[in-house]
């Protein structure tokens, strides 16, 4: 059997190993049509695993098996045992993983193995790993595995200094990238040097509003803006910058669904418009006087302008206290 990939083309002698065929029973109901190569490799691997042989040829065999089935967690686990026994250079293992990940960026076993390698290498691997995940996210900005690995890196190896800038870069490219907004919130709430959500709130509110001004109907920054007041209803209701931005956008576009949704959240939390805000909102939603009537009118407007989710807005309306219903808008 010819093998390559680790140290170039290598040919190992396996004449001393008796392959162990797969036992599917005497009459398998739906036999799988394995290729000859796959069957040969797996029969040999079962024999090596049974002997617990931790050798260079065993390591090469794991690479060959992974090449035909990268999701085989038993092979990955055995590979880790062999790597430790041989004391191999784990920087070389990262290079091997770079190649194995090509076309397999959503393979859980590859990411799990990568995390194990990085844990062993420690801070020496930080820069390479951040660079690697950035490359994976260029191909697929919503790759859960890449984001999860990146968040683990930041917390485990405590290297946060560029992450907020990285989030800003992604959001400049696509302000609807929910994964980048999620990562930004992760950094703001977890990075020790930033001081937490309370410390960052004002600057993040400003960042959100700038993003909203560029694309007012983009729901992502509206959701992020609400998230900045997590578990702090009083601050949410009293933040004049957020409420003013919301009402201003509604005056510009009376059909702005995310802005109406944000206003409904404000009203549901106890927000009461000032006299000036009331005057502005009555241009958008006429014929209401009290906050409860306004809330009802907002729900009704959302049922019309967001037909896809009309049942959801009807449900939100059903949660309101019984009030004098506002007229049809």
Read off the pLDDT of residues 232-253 as tens digits, 9 standing for 90 and up.
Answer: 999 999 999 999 999 999 999 9
Q: Which of 239, 295, 246, 288 is nearest to 267 (CA)?
A: 295
The secondary structure element, H or E, covering residue 11 is: strand 10-11
Q: What is the gyration radius of the CA atoms in the chain, in angstroms?
A: 28
- Grade residue 9 by pLDDT with cuts at 50, 70 and 90: low
Domain range annotation of the chain: 234-329
Say if residue 4's pLDDT is above 60. Answer: no
Contact 220, 177 (CB under 8 A): yes
pLDDT exceeds 80 at position 327: no
From the list 106, 120, 128, 226, the catalytic residue is 106
* Residue 10 banded pLDDT, cuts 50, 70, 90: low
CA 70, CA 285: separation in Å to the nearest integer?
58
Q: Coil, helix or strand for 322?
A: coil
- Read off the pLDDT of residues 38-95 as tens digits, 9 standing for 90 and up: 999 999 999 999 999 999 999 999 999 999 999 999 999 999 999 999 999 999 999 9
Cβ atoms of 167 and 180 closer than 8 Å? yes
Q: Give the residue-averaged pLDDT of 299-311.
A: 97
Query: Looking at residues 286-304, what average pLDDT do you find?
Result: 95
Digit-coded pLDDT (tens) for 12-38:
889 999 999 988 777 777 777 789 899
Which pLDDT value is given to residue 31?
Answer: 74
Residues 6+ apart with CB under 8 A from 126: 153, 157, 159
| d(C-alpha 16, C-alpha 139), whole Å | 45
Q: Residue 192 pLDDT > 60, yes or no? A: yes
Q: Is 60 an active-site residue?
A: no
Instruction: For the full predicted model, state whether its pTM sits above 0.75.
Output: yes
């Amino acid at each position: 059997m010819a093998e390559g990939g680790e140290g170039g083309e290598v040919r190992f002698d396996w004449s001393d190993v008796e392959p162990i065929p797969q036992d599917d029973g005497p009459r398998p109901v739906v036999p799988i049509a394995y290729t000859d190569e796959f069957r040969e490799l797996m029969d040999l691997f079962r024999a090596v695993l049974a002997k617990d042989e931790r050798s260079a040829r065993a390591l090469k065999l794991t690479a060959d098996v992974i090449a035909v089935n990268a999701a085989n967690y038993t092979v990955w686990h055995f590979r880790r045992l062999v790597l430790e026994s041989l004391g191999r250079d784990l920087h070389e293992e990262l290079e091997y993983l770079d190649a194995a990940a090509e076309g397999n960026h959503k393979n859980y076993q590859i990411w799990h193995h990568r995390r194990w390698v990085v844990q062993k290498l420690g801070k020496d691997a930080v820069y390479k790993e951040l660079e690697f995940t950035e490359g994976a996210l260029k191909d697929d900005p919503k790759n859960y595995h890449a984001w999860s690995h990146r968040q683990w890196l930041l917390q485990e190896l405590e290297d946060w200094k560029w992450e907020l800038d990285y989030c800003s870069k992604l959001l400049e490219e696509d302000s609807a990238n929910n994964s980048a907004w999620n990562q930004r919130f992760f950094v703001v709430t977890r990075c020790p040097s930033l001081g937490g959500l309370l410390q960052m709130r004002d600057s993040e509110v400003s960042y959100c509003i700038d993003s909203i001004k560029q694309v007012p109907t983009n729901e992502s920054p509206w959701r992020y803006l609400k998230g900045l007041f997590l578990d702090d209803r009083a601050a949410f209701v009293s933040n004049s910058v957020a409420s003013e931005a919301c009402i201003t956008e509604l005056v510009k576009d009376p059909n702005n669904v995310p802005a109406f949704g944000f206003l409904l959240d404000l009203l549901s939390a106890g927000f009461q418009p000032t006299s000036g805000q009331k005057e502005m909102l009555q241009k958008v939603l006429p014929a209401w006087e009290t906050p409860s009537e306004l809330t009802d009118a907002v729900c009704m407007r959302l049922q019309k302008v967001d037909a896809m989710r009309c049942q959801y807005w009807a449900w939100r309306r059903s949660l309101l206290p019984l009030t004098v219903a506002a007229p049809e808008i």
